[in-house]
Amino acid sequence: MVAGETVAAMVAAHRAGASVEATVARAYARVRAHNDPAIFITLREEADAMTEAKALAGKRGADRAVAELPLYGVPVAIKDNIDVAGLPTTAACPAFAYVPEKDATCVARLKRAGAIVIGKTNLDQFATGLEGVRTPYGIPRNLFDKALIPGGSSAGSAVAIAAGLVPLALGTDTAGSGRVPAALSNTVGLKPSLGLVSNAGVVPACRTLDCVSVHALTVEDAFAALAAIAGPDPADPYSRKHRLSALGAVPSGVRVGAPRPEQRLFFGDAASAAAYDDALARLARLGARIVTFDMAPFFEAARLLYDGPWVAERYLAARAVIEKAPQEMHPVTRQILLAGAKFSAADAFAAFYRLEELRRVCAAAFRAIDMMALPTVPTVHTVEQARADPIALNSRLGTYTNFVNLLDLCALAVPASLRADGTPFGVTLVAPAGEDAGLAALGRAFHAEAVLPLGATGQPHPAFAPASKPVMMRRRRVTPS
């Protein structure tokens, strides 16, 4: 296994007889060689992972079906707000830490698919932040410019993928935590439809909005992992029975929405604005019809996430630490979560009412489009800038991400280009719940067409073989009120 090898290539090699134990050993060797202790909060004992790899390989001899597991022998990393039995769950707050006795449902399903966990990755504390800097465990290095933020909150998971330490990782996404770090690491960040993947065993940020996200080098790999972990779960009351179609070809004549030109916010970043124009042109070359739409109601919904009572959900998750040992929390995280205690029940209901109004308005936009293509982030800043202005700059990063879960949409962040200064630029495809496969079909073709290296590994994107059968997307009608 070389750094940058995809899940698909790795599984194919294992099925052909390559050693799973050797693959796992090389993953640990790369972690040591990369030498960034801020990526993992807890690295699993290598001997334990090797024992699991040996047992998996041994089962193959007795049961040929083991070799057909979709993630057979793939080393994976897990964000440290997701339970892995026997490894501490910290949510990047040592005072909160506990050792779970059982795996989160998504981790258990990964293991059943043949994956092998090697460690727990760093994050913005309590998954509150989009920068990847609000953690006592160090800041993972941005692999394209060490001065820049890595993006968060799933910073460790995204950087582990970009560096080629593992080909697959889990994160979480409430406000953009799985998409923003993907954009800043030149990797894929898949945020599924709400409820498609169980949150049982995941430390909540906003329990009504949280998603487990998937990080990978290619869309095909991310979708394979999604298929392995998706499905209803009685242990999660927010689980839903979404239908997940197979990964197919780009739908014919797909209508892709872009904000009206005057609504495209880049905060003075001309390079990102130009990169977005180039991305739209590439989508058009792939056969998409670009349709402009009104972004204003989506921006208003985005503001509700941190200006409204959903911050109170974040307060609930960290309540024990806030009330007993507030000094143990990152000061910016503490400031944000304490604000959640100020909202009244009347405030909450007023926000719920406004959100329902916005949902109707935003749903109407999908009469004219099948999905959106948005900049994942409008601009990027340095670690020092984040320290100097931690609230406002973090908010900018969520310009095109914060509304997605509030409006019950699915999203896929895909690399688009490397700017002249070497900074990655990515776009996010966004569609109504249940359209995960449609996003993956277009995202897969878009990423291949970009002709970019995978993450920061220098490895080329695998040859693209278009599927023959297109994904069917539902054309929506909105009933007038």
Amino acid at 52: E
User: Taken in order 342, 344, 347, 348, is the CA torsion positive or negative?
Assistant: positive
Cα 324–Cα 326–Cα 330 angle in degrees, nearest 5: 145
Catalytic residue among 79, 111, 120, 191: 79
- Maximum Cα–Cα distance for the chain, whole Å? 63
Beta bridge partners of 412: 190, 429
pLDDT at 468: 67
Q: How far apart are CA 59 and CA 402, in angstroms?
A: 44
Q: What class does CATH assign to 7-293+366-450? A: alpha beta
Give, rounded to a whole angstrom, the gap between the first and last alpha carbons of the chain: 57
Instruction: Return phi, psi of residue 307, to 5°.
Output: -90, -5
pLDDT at 66: 80
Reduced DSSP (H G I as helix, E B as strand, rest coil) percent helix, strand, coil of the chain, to 5: 40, 15, 45
Q: How far apart are CA 38 and CA 189, in angstroms?
A: 20
374 contact partners, CB below 8 Å, separation of at least 6 = 258, 259, 400, 427, 428, 430
pTM: 0.96
Residue 382 is encoded by which pair of tokens?
A: 């340095």
pLDDT at 479: 44
Catalytic residue among 153, 198, 239, 272: 153
Asked if 447 and 279 count as a contact pair (C-beta separation under 8 A), the reply is no
Amino acid at 26: R
Which helix (H) or strand (E) is 414 found in, with range? Answer: strand 409-418
Q: Which residues of 410-443 are buried (b: 16+ CB within 10 A; e: fewer)?
A: bbbbbbbbbbeeebbbbbbbbbbbbbbbbbbbbb
- 19: cis peptide before it, omega within 30°? no
Q: How far apart are CA 297 and CA 442, in angstroms?
A: 25
Q: How far apart are CA 164 and CA 6, in angstroms?
A: 9
Asked if 79 and 154 count as a contact pair (C-beta separation under 8 A), the reply is yes
Q: How far apart are CA 165 and CA 75, in angstroms?
A: 9
Ordered per-residue pLDDT tens for the chain, 481 residues: 466 799 999 999 999 999 999 999 999 999 999 999 999 999 999 999 999 999 998 887 667 788 789 999 999 999 999 999 999 999 999 999 999 999 999 999 999 999 999 999 999 999 999 999 999 999 999 999 999 999 999 999 999 999 999 999 999 999 999 999 999 999 999 999 999 999 999 999 999 999 999 999 999 999 999 999 999 999 999 999 998 988 888 888 899 999 999 999 999 999 999 999 999 999 999 999 999 999 999 999 999 998 889 999 899 889 989 999 899 899 999 999 998 888 999 999 999 999 999 999 999 999 999 999 999 999 999 999 999 999 999 999 999 999 999 999 999 999 999 999 999 999 999 999 999 999 999 999 999 999 999 999 999 999 887 776 777 777 655 443 3
- Look at residues 364, 177, 178 and name the one whose alpha carbon lies nearest to residue 257: 364
Domain spans, the chain: 7-293+366-450
For 44-167, where are the E strands, in sequence order? 75-79, 116-121
Active site residue 153: yes
Catalytic residue among 120, 154, 157, 177: 177
